[in-house]
Amino acid sequence: MSFVLVQVIVGGLLLGAVYALFSSGLTLVWGMMNIVNFAHGDFVMLGMYVAYVVYTLLGGGPLLGAPLATLSLATLGVIVYFALIRDIMKGPMLAQILGTFGLALLLRYSVFWWFGANFLSLPQNIVGGTLAFLGLRIEAARLVAGVVGLLVTLGLHLLLTRTSLGSKMLAVAEDATAAQLMGIRPDSMQAIAWGIAAAATGLAGALIATFFYIVPTVGETLGIVAFVTVSLGGFGSIPGALVAGLLIGVIESLSGYLIGAVYQDIVVYVLFLLFLWFRPQGLMGKA
């Protein structure tokens, strides 16, 4: 295998780990409440803008921007749950899709209105320069983003499977009424799930902002990426989201390298449609 190809694949894996991070938020609320957040990609976009504002207003780098983005998005997630999701969950499918889709528009165009449509970016090398490792050249920002994305995604998995909070959340996902009889408040658990899911997008956004351009419409593409990842990985499965995220990162990088950057989004979308056609239950899911 040529050296460039290895470089492209490593880049794809690092990007894919960040995809996995924000997709695990989507898969969590989808698996738990059977509601799809169409504003998920726009949450990531907000995380990017929080990191940008932290830099321009406070002069803080990602070390300050990432925690602030995580916190502010977690707060937003809980607010959105209580103000909107809790009620539309009981409504018809039309209301569920319209509700989160409308939220996506509201967020996207509020940012558009405030910041304009210009491409913004954090200064290059805000994390560090380009590292040379075994002959590979990797931007420090992408390396940090990939490693943090991987670790936090694994952490989320452990949180769900190894802690009492995780067990409670899974209990609510399984049967909210039964969980309530056991003294677990479904409302609180679902609000926490929204907080965690949104926190994951905030962190992912702050990480992506260190090496990617920042623009209000970026959430649309990222939302579709998250949706593809969750479809591939199976709903509610964080390990599934991790594998699928890494896979999509690599596919995107490879197709960008082999057939041109313009077409890399198309490849992901077409892949998604093919999957819906042939294997709607996901890579690892069961029918």
**Shorter beta-carbon distance to another protein: residue 83 or 165:** 83
User: Does residue 145 belong to the site contacting another protein (CB under 8 A)?
Assistant: no
Residue 41, CA distances (Å) to 7, 113, 129, 166 in order:
27, 18, 28, 24
Q: Which of residues 27-46 bind another protein (CB under 8 A)?
A: 36, 38
Only one of the segments 102-110, 149-157, 161-169, 191-199 lies at the binding site for another protein (rule: CB under 8 A); that segment is: 102-110
User: Does residue 251 belong to the site contacting another protein (CB under 8 A)?
Assistant: no
Per DSSP, the residues of 193-218 read HHHHHHHHHHHHHHHHHTTS-B-TTH
Where on the phi/psi map is residue 236: left (φ > 0), alpha (ψ -120 to 50), or beta?
left
Read off the tokens for 7: 């470089």
Nearest distance from C-beta of residue 220 to another protein, angstroms: 7
Work out which of 75, 170, 265, 283 binds another protein, going by CB under 8 A: 265
Q: Which of residues 68-87 bind another protein (CB under 8 A)?
A: 84, 87
- Alpha-carbon gap, residue 210 to 163, rounded angstroms: 32
**Shorter beta-carbon distance to another protein: residue 133 or 278:** 278
Only one of the segments 7-15, 69-77, 100-108, 125-133 lies at the binding site for another protein (rule: CB under 8 A); that segment is: 100-108
Q: Is 57 exposed, middle or buried (0-12, 13-18, 19+ CB in 10 A)?
A: exposed
Q: Which of residues 169-228 bind another protein (CB under 8 A)?
A: 220, 224, 227-228
For another protein (CB under 8 A), the number of binding residues is 43
Per DSSP, the residues of 82-108 read IIIIHHHTTS-HHHHHHHHHHHHHHHH
Give yes or no for a contact between 45 and 108, defined as CB atoms under 8 angstroms apart.
yes
Positions that interact with another protein (CB under 8 A): 36, 38, 84, 87-88, 91-99, 101-110, 112-113, 117, 220, 224, 227-228, 231, 262-263, 265-266, 269-270, 272-273, 276-277, 280
